[in-house]
Amino acid sequence: MELLVETLEGLDEPVRGQFLRQFFRTIAQIDLSEAQANQYWDRILQRRRELTESLGKRVSLKTAMVDVLASTSFLRVPILMEYDEFKKLQFNAATDPLTGVYNRRLFDEYCDKELNRAKRYGHQLAIVILDLHKLKEVNDRHGHLQGDKVLQLAAATLRSTIRASDFAFRIGGDEFALLLPQTDPEQAVTLCRRIRTQYENEVRALKIDIAVTLDFGVAVHPQDGELKGALLSVADERLYQLKHAGRAPSRVISIETPAARETPAPSVSPKAVAPPAPPSPARPATPPAPAPAPRTATHAEQRKWERVSLAGTKANAVLADDAGKTATVIDLSYGGVALLVEKPEELPNQFSAVLNVPILPPVRVILRKVYTNRLETGRSRVGCAFVS
């Protein structure tokens, strides 16, 4: 506070008034003009000098400030409380008491703030609406106490999965929301799928015979709208589409980005391009059958794991066995990755790599080559499975 006094003495009156106006608004929630702010600051300094002379000892600036503001109409009923109690009040006013994440009031406030920031700096902002699927069935069959545990576990999953720059909120009975600054559609959908999978794994510990999961809808500024209302409508619509698209992972509603449209990842099933079995030793005279041509996967085929396209991102794999060499990650699933490489023959059948993928931290994995598909560009798509 003493440093503040010395600093303000060297400022011009308009600049000092602008600073003090924000200062009084922050510490006392009072709104003054710049001229009023300067006047009250001078009164506070004068009051400190008077108190110091009358008491015969130095009085703090805080004491003089409370004395001046309490004598005005701005602080009609001043209240003194412990700082820890004050912080507890702030926390309770901003958070949902059951789950501990931010509440709906703070969601509206932060959404406006982050949207303005995204517009100012030309950044993307992803807004996610999540719905806890079948919560009512849990409450009806197992009681509200078990339903509360399901909600708390969902909030804990959100907190443990999002980045430090992201925000999680509970905005309704079974609804949550996420604000993801500087996040594009692919990254947002990847994060949501990761959250849902992690939640489904953890909720099994509650031993509930109901398929509880988290449905989600994603909207991204500025692609899906400029205003908060428009973005929330898009996110709600996509959430509705997902809830009614069936529970199979292969039918998850995804968001197509311009980059993904320009460089689509070939949809080839690893099983479809597996090498043919060697000829039987009992029939040496019969020549081996030619290798079948790669077969494009159709919509009727069901993949074991859902594939997330990473086209247009900077996802890459650093090959640990060949220092300095990297490969582009085309897509990712829970079973493996597809790499874009120049010379696939140089890759051993099994090798280690460090994956650098949006949303996820760098992770070291061991990969096994499953198939290779030569592309028209001259490079090759190499499908790899994770080796556990």
CA distances from 342 to 287, 296, 309, 327, 378 (A): 32, 22, 20, 8, 8
- So what's the pLDDT on residue 250? 35
Of residues 10 and 232, the one with the higher pLDDT is 232
pLDDT tens for each residue of 147-189: 999 999 999 999 999 988 999 999 999 999 999 999 999 999 9
The DSSP code sequence of 22-85 is: HHHHHHH-----HHHHHHHHHHHHHHHHHHHHHHTSPPPHHHHHHHHHHTSSS-SS-----HHH
Can you tell me which residue has the tokens 């090759």?
A: 380
The pLDDT value recorded for residue 68 is: 84
Taking residues 312-327, report their average pLDDT: 78
Tell me the CA end-to-end span of the chain in Å, nearest whole number.
58
Identical fold, 98-255 and 270-274+304-386: no
User: What pLDDT does 166 receive?
Assistant: 94
- CATH class given for the domain over 98-255: alpha beta
Residue position matching structure tokens 């499908």:
383
75 against 246, higher pLDDT: 75
- For the chain, give the mean pLDDT: 79
- 333: DSSP letter: -
For the chain, the domains span 2-70, 98-255, 270-274+304-386
DSSP class per residue in 205-258: GG--SS--EEEEEEEEETTT-SSHHHHHHHHHHHHHHHHTS-S-GGG------H
Cα distances (Å, whole numbers) of residue 209 to 90, 92, 131, 175: 39, 34, 19, 21
Encoded tokens for 258: 């311009």
Contacts 24+ apart (CB under 8 A), 25-28: 28/69, 28/74, 28/75
pLDDT band at 76 (very low <50, low <70, confident <90, very high): low
CATH class of 270-274+304-386: mainly beta
- Confidence category of residue 71, pLDDT binned at 50, 70, 90: confident
Distance CA 94, CA 91 (A): 5
| Residue labelled with tokens 């039918």 | 251
Report how far residue 81's alpha carbon sits from residue 353's, in angstroms, rounded to the nearest whole number: 56
Q: What is the mean pLDDT of residues 234-254?
A: 66
CA–CA gap between residue 277 and residue 290 (Å, rounded): 10
Cβ-proximal residues to 149 (8 Å cutoff; 6+ apart), any chain: 206
Contact 338, 267 (CB under 8 A): no
pLDDT at 245: 64
CA distance 160 to 191: 12
Q: If you ran DSSP here, which 8-state letter would residue 97 be given?
A: T
Each residue of 104-130: pLDDT tens digit? 989 999 999 999 999 999 999 999 999
Proportion of the chain above pLDDT 70, given as a percent: 79
CB-based contacts of 111, cutoff 8 Å, min separation 6 = 127, 179, 228
Lowest mean pLDDT among 116-120, 210-214, 320-324: 320-324
Token pair of 249 as six digits: 């992972």
Secondary structure tally for the chain: helices H, strands E: 11, 11
